[in-house]
Amino acid sequence: RGWPRISPKTLAGLLQGDFDHKGFSGWTILDARWKAEYDAGHIRNAVHARTNAEVIDALWDKNGQPLRDNKHLVIIHCEFSQERGPNLMKAITDYRDNYGSSEDYPIMYVLDGGYRAFWHHAQAVDSTQILCDGQYKKEDALTQDELEAAHQERIDRDPAKHRELEKRTRLRRSATPDADRPPPPAFGPPLGAAAVAEQMGVHPVRFKSISPANSSPDQQDDRNAARENKKAEGAKKPTSRPALRPAAGAAAAAAAPSERA
């Protein structure tokens, strides 16, 4: 679902009073990142959205009445505004559609590019100390302890969704009986070639060697005759290299008398 988006430049102008003439009664910025990211740095006056229930309680009372008027802006973001921020926006709009009124918070935006884009814009205009509190910490830079805490935050933020995911996982596992699952690989000492061939059911073919002891008399006579023929052919070959004959032109020149004589 494509939510309305607000650019970092426009949000920076809103925070600096560039749109006060528009008649907005105020704004609420909801940061959907994990607590470790929020604590490291966030947009000034942004509220950390720890759970969906807490966000809804901050916007509606127990009777379902909005705590702000319809000219109040709600701006939601996470690091990139691709998953956590839009998911929070969906939770808010679902509550409004089911329990509230269409006039409740009609002006809601997702920060385009998230806090990362806003931080880089603040750096570009040299206004990080005015627009932000702290620095920018990437989710990829969280420590192991912070990642474990973030995992628990994910569960606490939307318990119903987490239960649904667990249910789907159990259904997928139960759909595959244990008998149909491949057994885990067994690791043991390395096997020799003979043992591997035995396990695979491969039996090497042994060829019977032919030797004079187990050959027939006719075969022995044929081999003896072949050896004798080879010896005879070798005896016919010349043992010394023939002398080279002089060329015909050279012999004639030697026999002819010299003109000078």
CATH number of the domain enclosing 142: 3.40.250.10
Domain membership of residue 122 (yes or no) is: yes
Domain membership of residue 68 (yes or no) is: yes
180 falls in which pLDDT band (50, 70, 90)? low
Q: Give the pLDDT score at 160.
A: 75
Q: Which residues, other chains included, contact 195 with Cβ-Cβ below 8 Å and sequence gap of 6+?
A: none
Q: How far apart are CA 179 and CA 98, in angstroms?
A: 46
153 falls in which pLDDT band (50, 70, 90)? very high
Q: Is 132 assigned a catalytic role?
A: no
- Paired with 73 in beta bridges are 27
Tell me the CA distances in angstroms from 202 to 193, 196, 199, one per residue in order: 11, 9, 8
Domain membership of residue 179 (yes or no) is: no
Q: At what angle do helices 8-15 and 114-124 cross, to 10 degrees?
A: 70
Specify the DSSP element, H or E, that contains 173. Answer: helix 159-174
- The pTM assigned to this predicted structure is 0.63
Q: How far apart are CA 159 and CA 52, in angstroms?
A: 9
Length of the chain: 261
Among 78, 91, 111, 122, the one annotated catalytic: 78
227 falls in which pLDDT band (50, 70, 90)? confident
Domain membership of residue 42 (yes or no) is: yes
Site of tokens 């702000």: 68
CA dihedral 123, 124, 126, 127 (to 10 degrees): -60
Q: Give the pLDDT score at 4.
A: 96
Structure confidence by residue, pLDDT tens digits, 12-59: 999 999 999 999 999 999 999 999 999 999 999 999 998 998 899 989
Does the pLDDT at position 207 exceed 50? Answer: no
Domain membership of residue 112 (yes or no) is: yes
Range of the domain at 104: 5-174
Structure tokens at 66: 């909005």
Does the pLDDT at position 142 exceed 80? Answer: yes
Domain membership of residue 104 (yes or no) is: yes
Q: Give the pLDDT score at 239.
A: 53
Domain membership of residue 144 (yes or no) is: yes
Q: Give the pLDDT score at 94.
A: 93
Q: Give the pLDDT score at 182.
A: 61
166 falls in which pLDDT band (50, 70, 90)? low
Split into its structural domains, the chain has a count of 1
Does the pLDDT at position 66 exceed 60? Answer: yes
Domain membership of residue 181 (yes or no) is: no
